[in-house]
């Protein structure tokens, strides 16, 4: 079953109360690719990422304007069920956040259970295949009933990835998934991202430019004029182009470390 | 849970701050050290004093109770009779009173806990902030109402509606032994339990709300990002996380219900019997019986009441210790998460 989908943002503007955090972001993210969002801190990378699965509006007072199409369906259409959107788009957060009271197994199948899957064999299969895809199976297969909170940080993050992909999402969003991890776990997750793009549309926020260069096919550079201004998309192109021959002076300054 | 790292700091440790952090560990000036020693003596003394007072109370109660227990011609634990004032044949037992105490508290919790959970979730996850603050304030006010007011209100106002309710329950659910009585209705376990339920509602609600608002945002967002509705998010993230806290809140509510005196003295039927029937006039509790009986009791009668009080003391102590143990376990568990 393969359902990777195209993400198309058209003039996406997002607010926290009256504060405009990102302004008119327009970009198209192709299916089965890895797209990196880079830029200085506070430029709205997380905000844009969270507007792709409508998690932005979870913050009180936050709202999104513009259109966000997942394969031609506007997810901000009032008739769209927000929970259906989130079920179709997986998310991995900056800090690993497995459900602390649940076992490893229950964490992985949590999304399936929310979808109403009760059959044990289906859950077992999904748990195994997701944990294998997340490169965690070998380490936890003998202790699936133990709490997820007992794993190391890197293992917890892979558990969260397994939980996100267990429901076979169309798009996978990752917000600095390695920023709280040690270098070895980081490498493991970067390898994993390379494999995930065979099946999913992956969007990853990172403040680590080497990481963006290593894992992504396309890179979007976001920036702000000065604090208090909304974040804007400066340049969006193939990763090799962004890093070797950027079209914008601002991008070049950021890549070469003269800014940010 | 068990293999998550334990928090290293549980509370303020006086030794950690006993010296200045700057200046290479130079000693405190003399006055500062003296003050600190004084404070340590003072706080240790206060702690010891509390223990001494508790032991003194227990010793006093036991010495008062022993003569009556010696004179008792019935089994104190199994008898349902309460005739300690009979000079020739004093006989009394705790069975009916202990049964009524536990039954009324249990029914009160059955009524109060679902309501408390509902209100607490509404306050923590559904209501807009202004309404949550206002309603929270009202609930706290409810906790400040003296129990004699609840007793008066239960006896004079609520007993009418509860009489009607009893008749209704008997008519439609009379096949259940709980509602088997054909009457008379009024001052019954049901009335006492409803009043008790209202009295334990504030503390249980407030504690549950505090537990629920502490749910880590990260866990709530994890559930929402999987496509959970708000209720599903509460079921996957909020309730499991808060379960130890809920248990503790219920146990503290139970402690309050078990010890409640005057409101039950005014709303229970003050009979001595063991019955599963909730709606017939009757019911009694240890504390209510003490309040009702102390005035007319002779020396043996007072001793008997004190003996019953000791038993109540033991029951509430166990409940409170259990509640605190659960709260403490939860603290370790939350500390291990971060
Ligand atoms: N919950 C919030 N409430 C108010 N402002 C926020 C909130 N989250 C982020 N912001 C603001 O929105 C802007 C963009 O933030 P964010 O998307 O987190 O940036 P990035 O992920 O690129 O570091 C920043 O100015 C930040 O201060
Ligand atoms: Mg961010």
- Is the CB of A42 within 6 Å of ligand 1? yes
Find out whether A74 and A67 touch, Cβ atoms under 8 Å. yes
Assigned fold of A7-255: Rossmann fold (3.40.50)
Find out whether B181 and B173 touch, Cβ atoms under 8 Å. no
pLDDT band at A43 (very low <50, low <70, confident <90, very high): very high
Q: CB of B227 within 8 Å of any CB in chain A?
A: yes
| Residue B26 DSSP code | P
Q: Kindly report the CATH number assigned to the domain that includes residue B168.
A: 1.10.3720.10
Query: B222-232 pLDDT, tens per residue?
Result: 999 999 999 99
- B25 part of a folded domain: no
Our CA angle for B146, B150, B153, nearest 5°, is 135
- Residue B225 to residues A86, A99, B167, B237, Cα–Cα distance (Å): 6, 13, 50, 12
- B13 part of a folded domain: no
What is the average per-residue pLDDT within B258-284? 88
d(Cα B292, Cα B100) in Å, to the nearest integer?
15
The domain ranges of chain A are: 7-255
pLDDT band at B11 (very low <50, low <70, confident <90, very high): very low
Q: What is the pLDDT of residue B15?
A: 42
Share above pLDDT 70 across residues of chain A, in percent, rounded to a whole number: 98
Three-class SS of residue B181? coil
The overall average pLDDT reported for chain A is 91
Share above pLDDT 90 across residues of chain B, in percent, rounded to a whole number: 56
d(Cα A258, Cα A223) in Å, to the nearest integer?
14
- B110 part of a folded domain: yes
Q: Which of A100, A115, A146 faces B241 most closely, judged by CB atoms?
A: A100
pLDDT band at B25 (very low <50, low <70, confident <90, very high): very low
Q: Which of A110, A147, A150 faces B226 most closely, judged by CB atoms?
A: A110
Q: Into how many domains does chain B fold?
A: 1
Residue A11 has pLDDT above 80, yes or no: yes
Distance from CA of A58 to the nearest CA of B (A): 8
Residue A23 has pLDDT above 70, yes or no: yes
d(Cα A244, Cα A247) in Å, to the nearest integer?
10
What is the CA(A227)–ligand 2 centre distance, in A? 15
- Is the CB of A43 within 6 Å of ligand 1? yes
Q: CB of B5 within 8 Å of any CB in chain A?
A: no
Q: CB of A90 within 8 Å of any CB in chain B?
A: yes
Q: Which of B3, B219, B227 faces A83 most closely, judged by CB atoms?
A: B227
- B169 part of a folded domain: yes
Share above pLDDT 90 across residues of chain A, in percent, rounded to a whole number: 67
Distance from CA of A94 to the nearest CA of B (A): 10
pLDDT band at B35 (very low <50, low <70, confident <90, very high): confident
| Residue A192 DSSP code | H
What is the average per-residue pLDDT within A6-12? 93
pLDDT band at A181 (very low <50, low <70, confident <90, very high): confident
Query: B317-331 pLDDT, tens per residue?
Result: 888 888 778 777 755
d(Cα B151, Cα A185) in Å, to the nearest integer?
63
Domain interval for residue B101: 91-335
Q: What is the pLDDT of residue B7?
A: 40
Ramachandran region, residue A77 (left: φ > 0; alpha: ψ -120 to 50; beta: rest): beta
Distance from CA of B327 to the nearest CA of A (A): 16
- Residue A121 to residues A117, A127, A144, Cα–Cα distance (Å): 10, 10, 15
- B199 part of a folded domain: yes
d(Cα B226, Cα A111) in Å, to the nearest integer?
6
């Amino acid at each position: 079953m393969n359902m990777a989908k195209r993400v198309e943002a058209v003039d996406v503007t997002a607010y926290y109360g009256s504060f405009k955090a990102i302004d008119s972001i327009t970009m198209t993210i192709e299916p089965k690719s890895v797209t990196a969002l880079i830029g200085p801190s506070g430029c709205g990378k997380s905000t844009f990422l969270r507007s792709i699965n409508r998690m932005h509006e979870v913050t009180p007072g936050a709202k999104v304007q513009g259109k966000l199409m997942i394969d031609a369906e506007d997810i901000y259409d009032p008739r769209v069920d927000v929970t259906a959107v989130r079920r179709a788009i997986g998310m991995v957060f900056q800090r690993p956040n497995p459900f602390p009271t649940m076992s490893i197994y229950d964490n992985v199948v949590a999304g399936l259970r929310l979808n109403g899957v009760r059959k044990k064999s289906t859950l077992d299969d999904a748990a195994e295949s997701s944990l294998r895809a997340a490169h965690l199976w070998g380490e936890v297969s003998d202790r699936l009933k133990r709490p997820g909170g007992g794993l190391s940080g890197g293992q917890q993050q892979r558990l969260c990835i397994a939980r996100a992909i267990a429901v076979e999402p169309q798009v996978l969003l990752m917000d600095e998934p390695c920023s709280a991890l040690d270098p070895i776990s980081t490498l493991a997750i970067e390898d994993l991202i390379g494999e995930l793009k065979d099946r999913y549309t992956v969007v990853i926020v990172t403040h680590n430019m080497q990481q963006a260069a290593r894992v992504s096919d396309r890179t979007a550079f976001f920036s702000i004029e000065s604090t208090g201004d909304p974040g804007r998309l400066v340049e969006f192109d193939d990763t090799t182009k962004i890093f070797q021959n950027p079209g914008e002076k601002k991008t070049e300054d950021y890549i070469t470390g003269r800014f940010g | 849970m068990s293999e998550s790292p334990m928090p290293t700091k549980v509370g303020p440790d006086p030794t950690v701050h006993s010296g200045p952090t700057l200046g290479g560990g130079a000693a405190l000036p003399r006055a500062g050290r003296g003050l600190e020693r004084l404070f340590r003596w003072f706080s240790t003394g206060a702690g010891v004093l509390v223990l001494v007072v508790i032991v003194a109370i227990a010793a006093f109660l036991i010495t008062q109770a022993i003569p009556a227990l010696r004179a008792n011609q019935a089994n104190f634990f199994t008898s349902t009779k309460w005739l300690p004032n009979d000079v020739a044949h004093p006989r009394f037992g705790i069975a009916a009173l202990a049964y009524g105490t536990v039954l009324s508290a249990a029914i009160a919790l059955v009524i109060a806990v679902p309501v408390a959970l509902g209100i607490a979730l509404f306050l923590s996850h559904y209501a807009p902030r202004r309404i949550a603050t206002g309603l929270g304030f009202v609930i706290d006010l409810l906790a400040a109402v003296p129990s004699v007011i609840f007793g008066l209100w239960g006896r004079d106002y609520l007993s009418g509606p509860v009489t009607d309710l009893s008749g209704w329950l008997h008519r439609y659910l009379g096949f259940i032994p709980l509602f088997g009585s054909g009457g008379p209705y009024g001052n019954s376990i049901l009335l006492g339990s409803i009043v008790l339920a209202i009295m334990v509602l504030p503390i249980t609600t407030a504690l549950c709300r505090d537990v629920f608002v502490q749910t880590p945002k990260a866990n709530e967002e994890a559930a929402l990002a999987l496509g959970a509705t708000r209720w599903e998010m509460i079921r996957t993230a909020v309730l499991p996380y808060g379960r130890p806290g809920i248990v503790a809140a219920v146990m503290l509510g139970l402690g309050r219900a078990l010890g409640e005196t005057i409101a039950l003295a005014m709303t229970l039927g003050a009979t001595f019997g063991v019955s599963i029937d909730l709606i017939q006039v009757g019911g009694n509790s240890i504390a209510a019986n003490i309040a009702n009986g102390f005035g007319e009791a002779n020396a043996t009668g007072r001793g008997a009441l004190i003996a019953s009080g000791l038993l109540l003391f033991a029951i509430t102590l166990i409940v409170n210790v259990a509640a605190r143990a659960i709260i403490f376990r939860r603290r370790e568990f939350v500390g291990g998460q971060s």
